[in-house]
Structure 1
Amino acid sequence: MMADPHPDTSRTTGRSSTLGVLRTYLGPLKWQVLGLAALLLSGVGLNLLLPQLLARFVDNAKLGRAADPGLLIRLAGIYIALAVGVQLLNASATFVGARVGWTATNRLRADLMAHLLSLDMREHKERTPGEMIERIDGDVTALSNFFSQFAVRVFGAALLLTGALVMFYSVDWRVGVGVTAFTVVTLIAMNRVRKLGVEPTRLEREASAKLFGFVEERLSGLEDIRALGTGGHHLNAFLRTQREFFTRSIWSWRRRSVVWQLSMILFAAGYVGVLAAAVGLYAAGAITLGTAFLMYQYMSMVEEPIDQLTQQLQELQKAGASLGRVGEILSLRSAIEGGTQPLPAGALSVAFRGVDFSYTPDDPDARGVLHGVGFTLPAGQTVGLLGRTGSGKTTLTRLVSRLYDATGGQVTLGGVDVRDVPLKTLRQRVAVVTQDVQLFQASVRDNLTFFDPDMPDERVEAALHEVGLDTWLARLEQGVHTPLPTGSLSAGEAQLLAFARVMLLDPAVIILDEPSSRLDPATEGLLTAAMTRLLAGRTAIIIAHRLDTVARADRILVLGDGHVLEDGERAQLARDPRSHYAELLRAGVLDDAEGVLA
């Protein structure tokens, strides 16, 4: 009932590409990134110094009795101190990297949620809620793991690899050239094979989204599944969906594992080459034993960063697939955009002028829902909307609040085309109460205000009193702050809470989709009294399935097969024995409308 969130769409422009997403969400954290770089540089510098100390220690220890015990002790002490320093710097870099990664992806998660909420209903009908959850949670979590580790491991590994290669050149330029060639070949080979995992990973994420969607839909329809005894069939369908996810996961893992399998083979050859060179140089007297040991240590420093790069390439594959899927969502643009023209104050008239509508406007063979609908509802009046199932009643009301846009004709409020009104303004002035009231596992206050922290408790309590829930409110231990578990209210209480939401919003136009269709007579009387207070001084459209609901309507509008069959004042239509409304009155119930309006 409250206004929909509409983020600044300009912020999402340019985020559809991978670099665009990275630039948008990592760019504002540049100072933390620079601090992270300083920590990594310091840690790499100390890490490169440690083998030098170890080589000096080995060369001095080899002297036997001629060795200087004091020097050995000092070298050991310095080595231990620097090793501890390296660990502290690495821990600090990991902390800062995780902070940068989670800060960036939390912003992405929030913007992605706001963007999804801003999309029009066509987009939401094409995707299940489970798929949306997977995009916001699963894909962004994969990115958060990547962001939090990538800078530390990849950037740090690149620095360490560069430093180790420089050290090889300082020992012997021929060894340096050989290790450099080995490193280039290894990186090129792994970069080529890593691409094998991108498409399988994307398909794996899609299968995961499909699984989430399946579970969400079955949980939503749990009552029907149990009542009809079809649990076994749905379980079989779940197993088929899960099998597809499992199969794609295994295939994706196998493709990604090629990277580290190749790495193991190449480094086995690399170690053999470095050890052979060390042995040869030592036998020729070109290097000392400590330097030979130094070469082995630096080879491990080449292996470690490439191994880190190998692992992160797999994470990069996952992140690349997730970035692509997130970019697809961020690139979506709502076909419904607001204008800049304000609405007049007070109650608003509603007018349809030759309105056509189809849910599939791009399909020329598709059958439209509304055809040339035209009527005018004066400001402050109530119209009862009648018609058999599929006549277009609900669709007509969706066009007023712009959940969809008419494919032809014009809808106006207070003489202003709804397409020229800012969406936030429109949905503050038009409130919709459906039969299925959505309640959240939150406090009474949050359920009424839609988590608006600025709404005073007094206004919330006043709205509850206004709809007749004062006695119910008095029984709550924590008042409006009492948690309201889903399913704890009767249908009547849920409808009254929906009315209280509208009271807080104070709209100019109210749309009610048969608020009393599931209520007993006593509760219906309470709801009718609340509805009378709610509609006072406001324009209202009531979709009716009971005659009592429209007994106090000013006008009656009868739809049939997308056309206006009848439009006029209720009292006048009731007196006209040839009117559709009079036939319904004679039938006594609107349940017979299928036959009367056919």
Structure 2
Amino acid sequence: MASTRPRDGASDKGAARSADALLARMTRASAGRTAGILLCAAGAAAVSVALPAVLGRTLDLLLQGHPDAGRALAAAVALTIAEVVLNAAVALLAGTVGARSTAWLRLRGLGRLAAAAPHGVSRFSPGDAATRLSTHATEAGAAPAGAARIVAAVLAPTGALVALFVIDLWTGLAFVLGLPVLGLLLRSFARHSSDSVSRYQRVQSVMATRLTDALGGARAIAAAGTVDEERARILRPLEELGAEGRRMWSVQGSAMARSGVLMPLLITAVLAVGGLALADGRISVGDLLAVSRYASLAAGLGSVAGPLGALVHGRAAARRVDALLAVPPLAHGQRGLPPGGPGTLELRGVGVSRDGEWALRGVDLHVPGGRTVAVVGRSGSGKSTLGAVAGRLTDPDEGEVLLDGVPLGTVAADVLRTEVGYAFERPSLQGATVEEAIAAGAETAPRERVRSAARAAGADDFVRVLPQGYATPLEEVPLSGGELQRLGLARAFAHAGRLMILDDATSSLDTATERQVDRALAREIRPGTRVVIAHRLSTAARADAVVWLDGGRLRAVRGHAELWQDPDYRAVFGHADASGGGGNR
């Protein structure tokens, strides 16, 4: 199973600026609560700064036996309670902002993925996209609260430092002398931590991609007897992940250890200077108590490393989430389609480029309304790409596609998805029950249409024997490949418009069921144009015309019987040596 390494195309500086802009928008989305964090933090800081002074004054009054000592003590208790309450409010608001910001990111990320063309999101494997929207969105969502907590972590120490200068100039200077060293420590921590966090998150995505690939191909892995090899492949990046994790925590541990040594030294220096001031009579015993408390409070600058680390994680994670949001959406127009149109499909000079190579080039095709065409060709010839542009799952890089004379790029999204339907080889079903899965679409199909569509797709028989029939929870239905395809076809039939594109949608059906589906398409489903991406010879033989693609170019559009005379056409179906007389097998 091939793994896909995520590729973010923007430069490092451009990606960083874009991620910072994303964080700014996310912060504005929770501006009220973020402001609440700052206000509560400012209040807690003010209380923290006032408390040592009140405690010092209380001590002096107690030593003097002053009658106001009781009131001062009550004030100190009130301030202590206020500090606890305000800090609790900060923690509560920070959690709320983190949850709301994470939800904000995930909703926009999912919305962008759903609105983008399939090829636009193909560079993100399912595992990588899931990691970005889960783990990385959570880390990025914590960034606004982290930034607010950094401000909060700076307010109280700053106030304490000012108080040290107010009590005695030399106590303030003793602390200030150590600040340049602390600044260098925090700067080094932020720089090195950012690099290690980015690498750690990248390896996380690689492992998630490999695991998702393996889960998707679990049966093939078991059948090949390569379980041990696949396990080793998935876990191979674990050594790199461990190394990056150790490096990340080493950077943080080193910063914490150094600040842990520096801060006590600064506190000791301040207390020594304060002791000398007390001996000289410049300050009182209560002032010395306040100095000791302010020195400890000012040393809280060293604790900035914690929220700073969370902010670094958040910025790095925001870059990975922002890469999803940078995928351009598929823009739609506002036009409708002619009422009662037959579904005439035209491709004019259509070309589609993928990774610098042409998947389709110079395709001119006219499919009259109400006709069924089979699109055939060797693997990689551009069949599914043609199906994607025909129903505007993606736009061509050159040329245009028209439905009943209207360019698809100008059609409103709701009109397009009502009038153009798809059925795929591996349909993705949504809904709580089987009935809801079939009814889901641009419009919710009514119950009778759901039942009729299920009968037409050959799904009604097996659905009726389920424990609760159509009301059976979808997650409790053990579906085979053919049953899954029949439900996918039923959903497409329930929402049939003037154009229906079946991309290998009957590959897992037995011959009898496939013929039943063909009859239903001709007689029971809303009349319209059918484009069938075909690999089976029988499907091509029953179509009104065959669109033969070869190397991304249109080789021929003729009837199957006529094309069968060409040995190259027979080779598409593995009949290179067959005579020209058959073709309906």
Q: 2:420 is matched by which residue type in structure 1?
A: V
Does structure 2 conserve the Cα–Cα contact (< 8 Å) formed by 1:350 and 1:412?
A: yes
Give 1:199-598 correspondences, 5 Å limit: 199-304=195-300, 306-333=301-328, 337-345=331-339, 346-360=341-355, 362=356, 366=357, 368-422=358-412, 425-439=415-429, 442-450=432-440, 460-461=450-451, 463-464=453-454, 467=457, 469-476=459-466, 480-485=470-475, 488-533=478-523, 535-568=525-558, 570=559, 574=561, 579-581=562-564, 591-593=573-575
Q: Of 144, 150, 153, which aligns to 1:154?
A: 150
Partner in structure 1 of residue 117 of structure 2: 120
CA pair 154-562 structure 1, distance change in 2 beyond 3 A: closer
Partner in structure 2 of residue 136 of structure 1: 133
Partner Cα distance (2:362, 2:46) in 1: 76
Give the secondary structure class of the aligned counterpart of 1:326. helix
Q: 1:344 is matched by which residue type in structure 2?
A: P
CA pair 595-39 structure 1, distance change in 2 beyond 3 A: farther
Partner Cα distance (2:189, 2:566) in 1: 74
Partner in structure 1 of residue 41 of structure 2: 40
CA pair 407-79 structure 1, distance change in 2 beyond 3 A: closer
Q: CA RMSD in A?
A: 3.3
Partner Cα distance (2:528, 2:433) in 1: 29
Does structure 2 conserve the Cα–Cα contact (< 8 Å) formed by 1:503 and 1:534?
A: no
Partner Cα distance (1:79, 1:456) in 2: 69
CA pair 595-198 structure 1, distance change in 2 beyond 3 A: farther
Partner Cα distance (2:441, 2:502) in 1: 23
Partner Cα distance (1:452, 1:372) in 2: 32
Does structure 2 conserve the Cα–Cα contact (< 8 Å) formed by 1:444 and 1:482?
A: yes
* Superposed displacement of residue 107, structure 1: 0.9
Give the secondary structure class of the aligned counterpart of 1:384. strand
Show CA shifts across 1:374-416 (max 9, x none).
3311011111223343433223212212344434444322223
Partner Cα distance (1:507, 1:434) in 2: 16
Query: How high is the TM-score relative to the length of structure 1?
Result: 0.84
Give 1:167-186 correspondences, 5 Å limit: 167-183=163-179, 185-186=181-182
Does structure 1 conserve the Cα–Cα contact (< 8 Å) formed by 2:418 and 2:442?
A: no
Partner Cα distance (1:256, 1:416) in 2: 60
CA pair 43-421 structure 1, distance change in 2 beyond 3 A: same
Does structure 1 conserve the Cα–Cα contact (< 8 Å) formed by 2:120 and 2:328?
A: no
* Superposed displacement of residue 489, structure 1: 1.8
CA pair 217-32 structure 1, distance change in 2 beyond 3 A: same
* Superposed displacement of residue 462, structure 1: 5.4
Q: Which deviates more from structure 2 when the two are superposed, residues 316-325 or residues 496-505?
A: 496-505
Uncovered stretches (5+) of structure 2, i.e. residues with no partner:
1-13, 581-585
Does structure 1 conserve the Cα–Cα contact (< 8 Å) formed by 2:23 and 2:318?
A: no
* Superposed displacement of residue 459, structure 1: 5.4
The percent of aligned pairs where both chains have the same amino acid is 26
Partner Cα distance (2:177, 2:419) in 1: 69
* Superposed displacement of residue 96, structure 1: 2.0
Show CA shifts across 1:258-277 (max 9, x none).
33233123213211210111
Give the secondary structure class of the aligned counterpart of 2:507. coil
Q: 1:232 is matched by which residue type in structure 2?
A: D
Query: How high is the TM-score relative to the length of structure 2?
Result: 0.86
Give the secondary structure class of the aligned counterpart of 2:350. strand
Q: Which deviates more from structure 2 when the two are superposed, residues 26-35 or residues 155-164?
A: 26-35
Partner Cα distance (1:358, 1:534) in 2: 38
* Superposed displacement of residue 445, structure 1: 4.2
CA pair 255-119 structure 1, distance change in 2 beyond 3 A: farther
* Superposed displacement of residue 312, structure 1: 1.2
Give the secondary structure class of the aligned counterpart of 2:501. strand
Does structure 1 conserve the Cα–Cα contact (< 8 Å) formed by 2:537 and 2:573?
A: no
CA pair 596-60 structure 1, distance change in 2 beyond 3 A: farther
Partner in structure 2 of residue 91 of structure 1: 88
CA pair 512-595 structure 1, distance change in 2 beyond 3 A: farther
Partner Cα distance (2:387, 2:242) in 1: 44
1:194 aligns with 2:195: no
* Superposed displacement of residue 456, structure 1: 5.6
